[in-house]
């Protein structure tokens, strides 16, 4: 059942006519893209943000954010809405569309939207973020939507009073695991090391939560079930022994893969697909194309530095091209 009543007002309508060209087009409406929009709009650029699902990106799928300065605790959704309202307030347009293709020719960046219409920009900012990495084990694909999930806030309701496993030991795994303890009977965290990587405060909450337990030094080898997931085959990486764990569901949080597929042939990336940028200007290897946030090659992926990337990119774009 619905635990919270809130109302997402969405972005400005998809039926709203877009212009043929903009000074800056930002692909992706997470914290990096929306902050770039704030700085670009304030800098006088005619700015469009294209977001394919929900404003705020990954924060919209986060229950609480506790490490963005100024807010000891804020709903992910509310923070997302504030970022988006802030960008709109200074004149940026936000459009709920998908991007199909990008062509770069002679100073002009042409973006083909999912309805095949085209818009052009002088400067392009890639802020497409990242999605959850898959485990790539037997049964994962087969049971996706049948007990395998990557979004606790979306699917937690289906596992009320059930036993679920969370795979991973970072902030996302522990955060989402704690969220699941609100409804699930039991949450077992399976981690390949013998200690968590998550922030100390999350670790303390996890260790003190009576519904949470831990399987250390173990990786999932196979996800099994009938119509639904009912069993995990685990391999202890220290001594090579195999174990089984009966669960009703499994939530996977083992890192991120960049959403950079559309740009792979245009800009330089790492072998993993993270986009390489100049550390000062955030410009990619292609002039006039910038990249910010989780999609770029960097150490820490947090809201605060995603926003910082956006500010730096917009400021350098203004300086270099307008």
Partner 1 sequence: MGLLKKKDQVQIKDRLAEEMKDNVKIILFLTEDESKCHYCTLTKEVLQEVASLSEGKLEIEEHIYEQDQELAKKYGVEYLPGFVILDKNLKHYNVIFHGAPFGHEFATLLEDIVIISNGANPPVSQDIVEKLKAINKPVKIQAFVTPTCPYCPKAVLTAHYFSMINPEFIKGEMVEASEFPELSAKYGVSSVPQMVINDGANSFVGAFPEREYLDEVLKVL
Q: Of 173-202, which residues contact partner 1 (CB under 8 A)? A: none
- 161 contacts partner 1 (rule: CB under 8 A): no
Q: Tokens 């699917």 — which residue? A: 155
- 172 contacts partner 1 (rule: CB under 8 A): no
Nearest CB to partner 1, comparing residues 16 and 243: 16
- 72 contacts partner 1 (rule: CB under 8 A): no
φ and ψ at 105, to 5 degrees?
-145, 125
- 158 contacts partner 1 (rule: CB under 8 A): yes
Question: Rounded to whole angstroms, what are the CA distances from 10 to 3, 82, 89, 190, 232?
Answer: 20, 13, 15, 36, 39
Nearest approach, Cβ of residue 1 and partner 1 (Å):
6
Burial of 190 (0-12, 13-18, 19+ CB in 10 A): buried
Stretch near partner 1 under the rule CB under 8 A, chosen from 1-9, 293-301, 302-310, 311-319: 1-9
Two tokens, residue 96 = 């709920």
SS3 193: coil
φ and ψ at 303, to 5 degrees?
-60, -45
Among 151, 185, 201, 304, binds partner 1 (CB under 8 A): 151
- Among residues 26, 28, 20, which one has the least CA distance to residue 123? 26
Stretch near partner 1 under the rule CB under 8 A, chosen from 10-18, 22-30, 198-206, 236-244: 10-18
SS3 29: coil
Active site residue 155: yes
What lies within 8 Å, CB to CB, of 172 at 6+ separation is 132, 253
Binding flags for partner 1, 208-237, as an x/- string (CB under 8 A): -------------------xx---------
- 280 contacts partner 1 (rule: CB under 8 A): no
Residues at the contact surface with partner 1, assessed by CB under 8 A: 1-2, 4-16, 52-54, 56, 60-61, 96-98, 100, 113-117, 144-149, 151, 153-159, 227-228, 249
Residues classed as catalytic = 151, 154-155
């Amino acid at each position: 059942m619905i635990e919270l009543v809130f109302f997402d007002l969405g972005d400005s309508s998809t039926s709203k006519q877009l212009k043929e060209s903009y000074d800056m087009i930002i692909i992706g409406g997470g914290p990096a893209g929306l902050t770039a929009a704030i700085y670009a709009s304030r800098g006088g650029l005619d700015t469009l943000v294209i977001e394919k699902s929900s404003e705020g990106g990954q924060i919209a799928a986060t229950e609480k954010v506790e490490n963005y300065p100024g807010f000891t605790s804020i709903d992910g959704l509310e923070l997302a809405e504030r970022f988006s309202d802030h960008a709109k307030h200074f004149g940026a347009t936000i459009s709920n569309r998908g991007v199909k293709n990008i062509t770069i020719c002679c100073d002009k960046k042409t973006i083909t939207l999912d309805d095949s219409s085209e818009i052009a920009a002088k400067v392009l900012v890639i802020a497409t973020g990242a999605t959850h990495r898959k485990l790539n084990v037997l049964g994962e694909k087969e049971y996706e939507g049948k007990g395998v999930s990557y979004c606790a806030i979306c699917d937690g309701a289906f596992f009320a009073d059930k036993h679920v496993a969370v795979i991973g030991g970072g902030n996302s795994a522990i955060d989402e695991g704690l969220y699941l303890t609100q409804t699930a009977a039991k949450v077992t965290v399976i981690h390949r090391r013998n200690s968590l990587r998550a922030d100390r405060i999350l670790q303390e909450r996890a260790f003190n939560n009576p519904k949470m337990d831990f399987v250390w030094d173990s990786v999932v080898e196979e996800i099994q079930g009938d119509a639904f997931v009912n069993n995990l085959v685990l391999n202890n990486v220290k001594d090579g022994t195999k174990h089984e764990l009966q669960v009703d569901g499994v939530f996977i949080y083992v890192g991120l893969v960049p959403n950079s597929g559309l740009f792979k042939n245009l800009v330089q990336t790492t072998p993993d697909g993270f986009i390489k940028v100049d550390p000062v200007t955030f410009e990619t290897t292609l002039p006039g194309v910038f990249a910010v946030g989780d999609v770029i090659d960097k150490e820490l992926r947090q809201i605060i530095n995603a926003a910082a990337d956006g500010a730096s990119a917009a400021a350098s774009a203004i300086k270099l091209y307008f």
